[in-house]
Amino acid sequence: MQAKNQTNPMLVVAIVALMSFMGVLTETAMNVTFPALMREFHVTLSTVQWVTAGYLLTTALVMLTSAYMKRRSTNRALFTAAALLFITGDVVCGLAPTFWVLLLGRLIQAGCVGLCTPLMVNIILDVVPRAKLGAYIGMANLIILIAPALGPTFGGAVVAFADWRWLFWGTLPVALVLLALGHRRIQQYTPTGQYAFDWGRFAMLSVSLITLITGLNALGSGQWLQATVLFGLGAATLWGFIRASRHATRALFSLAVFKAPAFLYSFLPYVLLQFANVGINFLLPNYVQDVFAASSLIGGLVLLPGSVLNGAGQPVYGWLLDRFGGKLPLYLGDALFTLGLLAMAVFGARMGVLGVTIAYLIFAMGRSMAFGNSVAFGLKHLDQSLQNDANALYNTGQQVAGAIGTTVLALMMGMRHEPGWTHAQAVAAGSFWAFVLLIVFGGIIFLLFRRLVHGAAK
């Protein structure tokens, strides 16, 4: 194990976070390119959304292994693998002659965020005192969460002024520089060992997650029998996973962490907030293009002010948690989150582009305040022996929720059709029910935060 004082740990965290940033940047940039991809490859919205949903699902499957990877592989090896996956994906996507080759490249690239995001948090847990976890996780999230601010604008500008393939050629040189920096600077802070990976449980959970997403997609396409079969298979494999976990001896992650209230009541709001965030980031750029006939560039710019505040506020939100405890940032964040959604639901198509931008700004500030602090609060109140497993589940749940959020909100956008309606009217009507669903989530999150904060106070 290398000496701790050779490199500032926060420099290491920054390098890893910047690599994750690149993955999130391309993910959010791709949402704005959907109309262009649909025209070029002649695919439907329910098909093209797999560029995001498939990416997030693959990221989740990689994150499932992060607790095992932490114990088995060095930080440098994990980072190098992540960077090479991103670089390979850039090349495949940049050269993609068909939609399915593009999707393959995105699935390869998903491994980058799947490895780097848990690695970043694990390094923080290794070197940062608990009393400062909120601020440090906030600073790391600042780097990653700037990507949603830049991603839609970056994607919209590329589509407007060049070709969507430059999303990948433009990020390739940065990824190569980060690979070189990481290879030189990333160190090891905890010992590794030889562990046998639990391939059986991993396969069962992977099948369960994949069938859930594909089942939702089939349901939206009106394929009821296929959806029923997929949901049944998913439920059966999930039951098999839970049963096998009771006596598991090989490494994956421990379900015992769900018995800790600090984890359970922070994990559930965390995934609901991510469902809402990724779903809205998909919905709004397409909403303003379809309902207000805005350009792809305007579609990306709608998210810019809220996303900038989303990222830039992270250190402040983390400081609020360290200074005042969980009640202030968690309750206030959920209130702002719900208020922004209420504005979108009540005013809808009458808001115009500016109104949607302001409502998203309020939503993003609240979601950001609650999101980062829910996981920081949970980790602060968890036993250290459970933190690696909790981190694996937080990150996996985040990605699965994002994939489901994109799929569900895409289906809801297109679910309303009445005779005589224009396409804009149909999209506005479907989006209304998507906003209502997320408002209900805001109420559920408040109840979960009450259990979390009051449980920690005992």
Q: SS3 sequence, the chain?
A: CCCCCCCCHHHHHHHHHHHHHHHHHHHHHHHHCHHHHHHHHCCCHHHHCHHHHHHHHHHHHHHCCHHHHHHHCCHHHHHHHHHHHHHHHHHHHHHCCCHHHHHHHHHHHHHHHHHHHHHHHHHHHHHCCHHHHHHHHHHHHHHHHHHHHHHHHHHHHHHHHCCCCHHHHHHHHHHHHHHHHHHHHCCCCCCCCCCCECHHHHHHHHHHHHHHHHHHHHHHCCCHHHHHHHHHHHHHHHHHHHHHHCCCCCECCCHHHHHCHHHHHHHHHHHHHHHHHHHHHHHHHHHHHHHCCCCHHHHHHCCHHHHHHHHHCHHHHHHHHHHHCCHHHHHHHHHHHHHHHHHHHHHHHHCHHHHHHHHHHHHHHHHHHHHHHHHHHHHHCCCHHHHHHHHHHHHHHHHHHHHHHHHHHHHHHCCCCCCCCCHHHHHHHHHHHHHHHHHHHHHHHHHHHHHHHHHHHC
CATH of the domain at 275: 1.20.1250.20
Whether residue 192 is contained in a domain is answered as: no
| Average pLDDT value over all residues in the chain | 84
For residue 450, name the pLDDT band (cuts at 50, 70, 90).
very high
- What's the pLDDT tens digit per position in 269-287? 999 998 998 889 888 888 8
The residue range of the domain holding 362 is 9-187+251-457
Residues 242 and 378 in one domain: no
In a domain, residue 62? The reply is: yes
What are the tens digits of pLDDT across the range 418-435?
777 787 888 888 888 999
Same domain, 362 and 430: yes
The verdict on 73 and 21 lying in the same domain is yes
Read off the tokens for 36: 């262009």
What pLDDT is stored for residue 133 in this prediction? Answer: 74
Is residue 275 domain-resident?
yes
Q: Are residues 131 and 101 in the same domain?
A: yes
Q: Does 1 map to a domain?
A: no
232-278 per-position pLDDT tens digit: 998 999 898 888 877 766 667 677 788 888 899 999 999 999 899 88
- Are 146 and 210 members of one domain? no
**What are the tens digits of pLDDT across the range 15-30?**
888 898 888 888 878 8
Confidence (pLDDT) at 456: 61
pLDDT tier at 5, thresholds 50, 70, 90: very low
Higher pLDDT, 26 or 216: 26
pLDDT at 286: 84
User: Do 296 and 260 reside in the same domain of the chain?
Assistant: yes
Asked whether the predicted pLDDT for residue 320 surpasses 60, the reply is yes
338 and 366 in a common domain: yes
Where is pLDDT greater, at 90 or 215?
Answer: 90
Please give the pLDDT value at position 3: 42
- pLDDT for 1 beyond 60: no
In a domain, 3, yes or no: no
One domain, residues 281 and 349: yes
User: Residue 31: its pLDDT value, please?
Assistant: 76
Cα–Cα dist 362/310, whole Å: 10
Is the pLDDT score of 4 beyond 70? no
- Confidence category of residue 175, pLDDT binned at 50, 70, 90: very high
Q: What distance in Å separates the CA atoms of residue 142 and residue 132, rounded to the nearest whole number? A: 16
Do 237 and 340 sit in the same domain of this protein?
no
pLDDT, position 156: 79
Per-residue model confidence as pLDDT tens digits over 114-166: 898 888 888 887 777 777 777 777 777 777 667 766 777 788 788 888 888 99
Residues 6+ apart with CB under 8 A from 241: 201, 204, 205, 208
Q: Residue 166 domain-assigned?
A: yes
Domain boundary, last residue among 214, 231, 250: 250
Percentage of the chain lying above the pLDDT 90 cut: 27
Residue 419 shares a structural domain with residue 404: yes
* Lowest-pLDDT range of 219-223, 306-310, 326-330: 219-223
Whether residue 302 is found in the same domain as residue 451: yes
Residue 458 pLDDT exceeds 60: no
Split at pLDDT 50, 70, 90, the class of 196 is confident
Nearest to 55 by CA among 93, 27, 25: 27
Residue at 206 is within a domain: yes
User: How far is residue 293's CA from residue 349's CA, in Å, rounded to a whole number?
Assistant: 12
**Cβ contact 400:421 at 8 Å:** no
Our count of domains for the chain comes to 2
For 331-359, how does the pLDDT look when each residue is reduced to its tens digit (9 = 90+)?
999 999 999 999 999 998 888 899 999 99
pLDDT of residue 249: 64
Residue 338: what pLDDT? 96
What pLDDT sits at residue 406?
78
Residue 193 lies in a domain: no
Does residue 278 contact residue 113 with C-beta atoms inside 8 Å?
Answer: no
Residue 214 and residue 302 share a domain? no
Q: What is the pTM of this model?
A: 0.75
Say how many C-beta atoms besides its own lie within 10 A of residue 259's C-beta: 10
